[in-house]
Structure 1
Amino acid sequence: MKEERFKKAEFAAWIGIVGNIVLAIVKGFIGYIANSKALIADAVHSASDVVGSLAVLIGLRAARKPPDEDHPYGHGKAESIAAIVVSIIMFVVGLEVASASFETMREPLAAPGVIAIYAAIISMVVKEAMFRYKYKLGKRLNSQALIANAWDHRSDVYSSLAALVGIGGAVLGGKLGIPLLLYLDPLAGIVVSVLVLKMAYNILKESVHNTLDHVIHEEDAKELVDAVEKVDGVISVDQLFAREHGHYVIVDVKVGVNPNISVEKGHAIGKEVKHTLMNQFEHVQDVMVHINPYSGEFGNDNQPEVFH
């Protein structure tokens, strides 16, 4: 199942790479011949998405590696790092688009060609389809890198919408002889940059949070606690940590058992706890079990303490 997960995720990354290359070339060419600064800015955004999708692909392949001596907990955080790389690329592109748009407003302006409107509409449709596909797949596979890449596609939808409004207004200004409306094209480029920067910040914030040994919330860990409590010999679940490592979690759990049983029996209960969690929950990569002699001292009415 894990091998199938990576194959699906890599296929989605390749769709993003090929799709963005085609869109960047088409929008860049049409933006040039139609003299649309907004569409050219949008093309630059799509070109940056190629780099972002490549970062996701590299992150997925790194996360695919099994645990080794230097990384006993696996390489799952490579996906979070890939998401951070995507956000940084988006920041750079957002600033570059803003700078280019401001420079354009200082030059003589001309109305863009109508063909730029069609290019922006096609880009919106394609990018929205890519967003929905990658977002649903990222949620299903619990891949932070794919989800970040999906939101990058959604930011392209917004930027194409802003470009469409700016291009349409500028075209209308050219036909009606209203010079002021010509500024809507480069102004749309500035709006695009703001949207890209905002999306980049949100992705970066979430990715950094998950990279710093984030522990899943109590409501998400409850099913793990419930499963451990059903293991024969477990009297109480004293503590449970489930640390996120990309698409999987590492569980640290302390369980209370009868203090009069043998060490061998306690060890057997611990092994059963580990096997139960790893067999019932696909996202559990490994489990560390600590056996406590039950004395009723932990928790309230023997309820577990789940730290987050």
Structure 2
Amino acid sequence: MKNKINTVIWISLIINILLSVLKLYYGFKGNAGSLKSDGFNSLSDVFVSIMILITLKIAHKKPDENHPYGHEKFEGLMYFLLGLVLVLTAFSIGANGISELYDYFIHKRVFIKPSTSTIYVAVIAILLKLLLSYLTITASKKYKAPALKADSVNHLTDVFATSASLIGITLAQFNLIYFDSIASILIALLILLSSVEILKEAISFLVDASAEKEVVSNINQTIKTVLGVIRIDDLKVRKHMKHYYVDVEICVDERLSLKEAHDIAENVHDTIEETYLDVLHCMVHVNPGVPKKKK
């Protein structure tokens, strides 16, 4: 699985390098400000792909003395850094677009019409990014890899961003030059929106946020089916990247021997870990209680 995830990231890296060169070269040569902005966005994607490759190598290491719970949270840290990189990229591109509009309308600066070759580059970029988006979305669902999920969101945002660039360049062919700068600002907003979503999810990975209500409810119902459990006194399910940790307090008949109570707790532990493969560990605490009398 690790090798297959790495293959997807390597494909992304190679295509992002190609797109960075194409966009920046034709953006500068063809006087297309939005394509240049999109080129710098692709350049940040190259950095992101390299960062993902390095992080995944660390995240897949086995637990050790200093990291008894494994290294998966390094992937969450990378997820967070990816969000920050996208925020910085968005502000940089947006500021450049606003500056160009200011020069156009206030300083009456004359801008050269973008070359038609930049239109073809934008179309090629959109097609390649659609391919990457499909590839990473499919792989992220199959392998449940948060890093690939973040990268798929990034690729999909790039599709809309380059589409905005394409529209801006096309309108500029009809002497609506300032639309190229407006496209740069739209690109920045799209990148900013996706970065906020990535940061929110990354924070949930890093702060041990509670699992989804449906997951908690399902685990709750499963524990209640275990023979000997009178009730559930407390249940906590926390995220650990794509996995979960479960802490539960169950109530059992106070008249049972220690061995009998332990066997019930062990049964709960085994049932949860065997039923829910995403659960890394289920910790069970036993409380004494009195069973309800049957009417």
TM-score (norm 2): 0.89
- Structure 1 residue 171 and structure 2 residue 206: aligned? no
Match of 2:106 in 1: none
- Structure 1 residue 102 and structure 2 residue 98: aligned? yes
Match of 1:112 in 2: 114
Give the Cα separation in 1 of the matches to 2:156 and 2:264: 48
Give the Cα separation in 1 of the matches to 2:252 and 2:6: 44
Match of 2:222 in 1: 227
> Which residue, out of 261, 265, 268, partners 2:260?
265
User: Structure 1 residues 60 and 295, CA, compared in 2 at 3 Å: closer, same or farther?
Assistant: farther
Q: List aligned pairs for 1:294-305, cutoff 5 A.
A: 294-295=289-290
Deviations 1:40-88 (A, max 9, x none): 1111111111111222223323221233333333222222211111111
User: Structure 1 residues 296 and 16, CA, compared in 2 at 3 Å: closer, same or farther?
Assistant: farther
Give the secondary structure class of the aligned counterpart of 1:172.
Answer: coil
Match of 1:306 in 2: none
Match of 2:36 in 1: 40
Q: List aligned pairs for 1:1-308, cutoff 5 A.
A: 4=1, 6-105=2-101, 106=103, 107-173=109-175, 181-295=176-290
Give the Cα separation in 1 of the matches to 2:181 and 2:146: 33
Give the secondary structure class of the aligned counterpart of 1:42.
Answer: helix
The CA RMSD over aligned residues, in Å, is 2.0
Unaligned runs of at least 5 residues, structure 1: 174-180, 298-308
Letter of the structure 1 residue corresponding to residue 21 of structure 2: I
User: Structure 1 residues 223 and 140, CA, compared in 2 at 3 Å: closer, same or farther?
Assistant: farther
Mapped contact 1:20–1:47 kept (Cα < 8 A): yes
TM-score (norm 1): 0.86
Letter of the structure 1 residue corresponding to residue 274 of structure 2: N
Unaligned runs of at least 5 residues, structure 2: 104-108
| Same amino acid, percent of matched pairs | 30
Q: How many residues align?
A: 286
Letter of the structure 1 residue corresponding to residue 5 of structure 2: A
Give the Cα separation in 2 of the matches to 1:102 and 1:68: 50
How far is the alpha carbon of 1:20 from its aligned partner?
A: 0.9
How far is the alpha carbon of 1:296 from its aligned partner?
A: 6.0
Report which stretch shifted further, 272-281 or 189-198. Answer: 272-281
Deviations 1:114-144 (A, max 9, x none): 1111111121122122223222332343332
Letter of the structure 2 residue corresponding to residue 138 of structure 1: S
Mapped contact 1:83–1:149 kept (Cα < 8 A): no
Give the Cα separation in 2 of the matches to 1:239 and 1:248: 20
How far is the alpha carbon of 1:150 from its aligned partner?
A: 1.1
Letter of the structure 2 residue corresponding to residue 71 of structure 1: H
How far is the alpha carbon of 1:234 from its aligned partner?
A: 2.6
Deviations 1:271-303 (A, max 9, x none): 222222222222111111111123369xxxxxx
